[in-house]
Amino acid sequence: MIRELFALEGGHCRQLLALVDRRSPRLVRFEAVFLALHHAREGWILVDTGYGEAFAPASARFPQRLYRWATPVSGTRSTASLLRARGIDPAAIRHVILTHFHADHIGGLAEFPQARIHHHAEALAPLQALRPLAQVRNAFLSSLVPSWLPDRAHAIPPTAFSRDAELPFPSHDLFGDGSLRLLELPGHAPGQVGLAFHSPAGPELYAADAYWRESQLRLRRAPLPPALWFQWDRAAYLRTCSRLADLYSSSHYHLSACHDAGTAARLNARGRPS
């Protein structure tokens, strides 16, 4: 079990909510939430890293600056400093799980050179193979990938994921003790993974960006085309959303997603031992 968890906000962007829920014509904040999970043996584990301190310089020039225009970003700061403010020593982080390589998830990665970096083996190469403009369109800023990553990476091959006993997504038991299962959640980005674990409040399914807002699952509504075009594999994205919507209405898992309204507050309320 994960004994304690923090959900932190690593910057945010503003977007038109109607693109996601098809009904609210207003600009809202989409927080870039990342998690710190406390594992009895492995210590604090990070799940994604927010925009971090590297996002601003990485998006200063063209064509990368287009990313800021498409999704105006603010509130970015050092991910390590956000952890320190919660009493977590960033130098003691031994594991970082990257759900996918979009800039709002890897911006703080360079701040953790001592950690082992876990990610799906098919998450990075397809983005690195794109031309620079296509990389920006796919929310990937290559300079955010530290030069040391190949030495620190644990790239998990698809063959390491197998049928899950409880969930309709192939899973990989990261530490071999059942405490943290990575789930293949295809569609949003290449090799995207989510997580299944037990928090002090019960079973959790953290879906990363497999959906953005709870209304997508509750109302079974796909995002409007501009937001749908942004997905790496639209058919797979819609299939994954549909399976998550089934779980939302029937499972005992608490579902959460990185950019949903109130995610950090809800997870923080579930993350303390009672």
Instruction: By CB under 5 A, name the binding residues for Zn ion.
Output: 102, 209
DSSP for 52-109, please give it.
TTTHHHHTSSTTTHHHHHHS-EE----HHHHHHHTT--GGG--EEE-S---HHHHTTG
CB of 108 to Zn ion, least distance (A): 15
CB 51 within 8 A of CB 76: yes
Separation between Cα atoms, residue 145 and residue 159, nearest integer Å: 25
CB of 162 to Zn ion, least distance (A): 25
CB of 72 to Zn ion, least distance (A): 16
Residue whose CB is less far from Zn ion, 138 or 215? 138
CB 244 within 8 A of CB 184: no
Residue whose CB is less far from Zn ion, 118 or 259? 259
Single out the residue of 116, 104, 142, 122 nearest to residue 44, CA to CA. 116
Residue whose CB is less far from Zn ion, 209 or 260? 209
Q: How many CB atoms lie within 10 A of CB 89?
A: 11
Residue whose CB is less far from Zn ion, 140 or 161? 140
CB of 89 to Zn ion, least distance (A): 28
Residue whose CB is less far from Zn ion, 39 or 105? 105
CB of 261 to Zn ion, least distance (A): 17
Residue whose CB is less far from Zn ion, 7 or 88? 7
CB of 209 to Zn ion, least distance (A): 4
DSSP for 179-246, please give it.
S-EEEE--SSSTT-EEEEEEETTEEEEE-TTS-SSHHHHHTT-PPPHHHHHTSSSHHHHHHHHHHHHH
